Structure 1
C-alpha cells in the first residue's frame, strides 16, 4: 500500500474562486503546512494564483506539491461546453506545469448552490445521460492528450452522479482507459453506500480518493427529510474523520488488502467557515490519520 496524503481548500471552507467569506489563499497555504500536509489540490480554478510561475514559487517556498484539482460543469448541457473548455485549457496548462497527475471532473448540482432549491431533475433522461458521458469522454481525451492528466470522476450529492446505481452506470458507460473515479468516501456514506465494499469492488478504477466523514444522526435526518446538500453542509453534516459513520480503521485495512497505490485527499466540506475554524480541525484530522496508519 502506498498512500500520498493531502488536503484541499475545501477543508478550509473554500468553494468558489472569489468569495469574501473564504480564507485568503496565502493563509490557506501557510495553514496547510502547519497542519502537516505535503500534497494539496488547487481548489476552484482562480482561488490560488493562475500565474504558473507565481503559484510554483508560493508552493516551493512551503514545500507543497499538487495532486490535481477539480472542474464543475453541467455535463449534460451542450451550452456549458464553451465555458468548460476554456477552464479546462487554462487549468490543464496550470496542472501540467505543476507536475500534477489528476483532473477531477464533477457534474454540477441539480440544486441551487445558495438556496438549495431544485433547479434540474434529480435523474437524467437517456439522451441527457448520453451527453454527460460524451462530455466526460471529451474532457478526459483533452486532459490526457494535451496535458498528460488522468481524469478522475467525482460523484457528488445533488448531482446526476450521486447514488450507487448512477456511479456504477457511469463506470459501465465510460472507457476505463480514459475515465477513473476520484471517489469521495464521505459522499458514498452520505447516500447510504458502504465505502469499504464499494472501493474494494471497484478498486481497478479508483486511484484517487477524497476522504471525509458523515455525522450519523444528520445523515439519517437529511435522507428522511430530503434536505438539500447545501443545507446539509451548513448543518455540519461532514464531521471530523474520527467521529462519523465511516470506520477509517476498517477502510485503511481494506486499502492495505487491495494494495492501494494512489492519493487520498482530505476534503471536509464546511462552506462557509469562520477563518479560525479549519486549522484546528485539519490538525486533528492529520493526527488521527497518522495514528491509524495512513502515513
Structure 2
C-alpha cells in the first residue's frame, strides 16, 4: 500500500510571525480615523500574535518604560521600528534625517528589537495623491540614495546595535524589480539589507520568490501582504496613487490575493536564517471593528502554512 500524503504543513521553524499597526488601519501617529493604541495592542494579542512593530512613531507610547509594561502584560514583543527617509536628496537632509531616526532607533533598541525598517520617501503624497517630485531618480540622486543609506546602516548599527532593512514601497523610488535590483547592487550587503514586502513588490510587478532565490543573502526581514489582482489592474490602468488604491481595497486578506504566501514562506525557510515575517494588510482608513476578525483569520491561515 502506498503511503498517504501528509496533511501536516511544512515546518517554518526559522520564521517568526507577527503583525503591525498597519493591519489595524494605522498609518499616522495621530488620526481620528484610527483605533486607539490600547485597542490595537489588545486585539493583536487576542489574534494570537506574539511580535509587533512600533508603527508610525508616536502612535504607541514613546516612553520605553510605559511601552514595555503595556506590551509585556499582553505577551507581546517588538520586532522593529520604522522610519521614513528621503536620502536621495543628498547630504543636506542628513541632519534632519538623523534627528528623526535617532529617537525611533533609541525606542526600538530599548524594546529589545534588532531591526529598523527604512521606507523611502514617496514621490506623490499618500493621502492626496499630489505629485511631490519626479518618479525617477537622476544618476546623482541614485548615488545619494545608496551612499547615504550605507551611512545610515553604519550609524544605526554603531550607535544602537540595529540592522536597517530597506522596504521597497509603491510610489517611492525603490519599487519595481529593476529599481530594487539597482539599489541592492549599489549598496554594501554588510550595511544594508532588504525588508521584502510581498504585497508592495507584487503591486509594482515583482516576483517575491524569484527575489528571495536570487538575492537571498540580502533578505533581512519580510512583510506579508497580498494584492487583489483585479483591483490592481484597475488602479494601474487608471494611474491611481497608492493611498487611494488602498482605500479601494487593493491590499486584500490572504489567501485571496497574490502572491501566494506558501511558496514565499518556503523560499524564506530555505535561506536557513531566522527571519521575521510581519503581516501588514494596508487598510487605511477602515471601520474600527474590521481588523480583528481579519487578523484572527490571517493568523489561522499562516498556522495552516506551518508558521
TM-score, normalized by the shorter chain, greater than 0.5: yes
Distance (Å, rounded) in 1 between the aligned partners of 2:145 and 2:70: 36
Tell me by how many angstroms 1:260 deviates. 4.5
| 2:8 paired residue number | none
TM-aligned CA deviation for residue 192 of structure 1: 1.5
Give 2:7's aligned residue: none
Farther off after superposition, 25-34 or 215-224: 215-224
**2:59 corresponds to which residue?**
47
1:17 aligns with 2:26: no
Structure 2 Cα separation of the partners of residues 260 and 223 of structure 1: 35
Question: Which residue number in structure 1 is paired with residue 268 of structure 2?
Answer: 255
Checking the alignment, whether the CA contact within 8 Å between 1:73 and 1:80 is kept in structure 2 is: no
Quick check: 1:151 aligned with 2:173?
Answer: no
Aligned counterpart in structure 1 of residue 287 of structure 2, from 274, 280, 285: 274
Pick from 169, 173, 181: which aligns with 2:182? 169
Quick check: 218-227 or 40-49, which moved more? 218-227
Q: Could you tell me whether the CA contact under 8 Å between 2:224 and 2:261 is conserved in 1?
A: no
Query: Is the Cα–Cα contact under 8 Å of residues 252 and 293 in structure 1 kept in the other structure?
Result: no
Match of 1:30 in 2: 42
Measure, in 2, the Cα distance between the counterparts of 1:58 and 1:84.
29
Matches within 5 A, 1:109-124: 109-124=122-137
Correspondence for 1:246 among 251, 259, 262? 259
- Alignment TM-score, normalising by the size of structure 2: 0.93
What residue is the counterpart of 2:247 in the other structure? 234
- Distance in structure 2 (CA, Å) of the matches to 1:96 and 1:17: 19
Equivalent residue number for residue 77 of structure 2: 65
Q: Secondary structure at the match of 1:273?
A: coil
Q: Which residue of 73, 78, 88 maps to 2:101?
A: 88
Question: Quick one: which of 105, 128, 132 aligns to 2:118?
Answer: 105
Deviations 1:173-195 (A, max 9, x none): 11110100011011111112121
Query: Paired residue for 1:128?
Result: 141
1:254-284, Cα deviation, whole Å (9 max, x unpaired):
2333335210000111111111111111111
> Cα deviations across residues 236-255 of structure 1 (Å, max 9, x unaligned)?
00001110021122223323
Matched, 1:218 2:231: yes
Whole-Å Cα distance in 2 between the matches of residues 258 and 240 of structure 1?
26
Structure 2 runs not aligned, ≥5 long: 1-12
Does the aligned pair in 2 maintain the 1:45–1:87 contact within 8 Å?
no
Which residue does the alignment assign to 2:277? 264
- Higher-Rg structure is 2
State the TM-score, normalizing by the size of structure 1. Answer: 0.96
Q: Describe the superposition over 1:138-167 as per-residue Cα deviations: whole angstroms up to 9, x where unpaired.
A: 221111000000010000010010111111
Stretches of structure 1 that go unaligned for 5 or more consecutive residues are: none
1:192-229 Cα deviation digits (max 9, x unpaired): 21211111111111020001000010111222222111
Q: Quick one: distance in 2 between partners of 1:47 and 1:83?
A: 21
Runs of 4+ more than 4 Å apart:
none
Partner Cα distance (2:208, 2:79) in 1:
22
**RMSD of Structure 2 on Structure 1 (CA):** 1.3
Helix, strand or coil: the match of 2:88?
A: coil
In structure 2, distance between residues paired with 1:135 and 1:21: 35
TM-superposed CA distance for 1:124, in Å, is 0.6
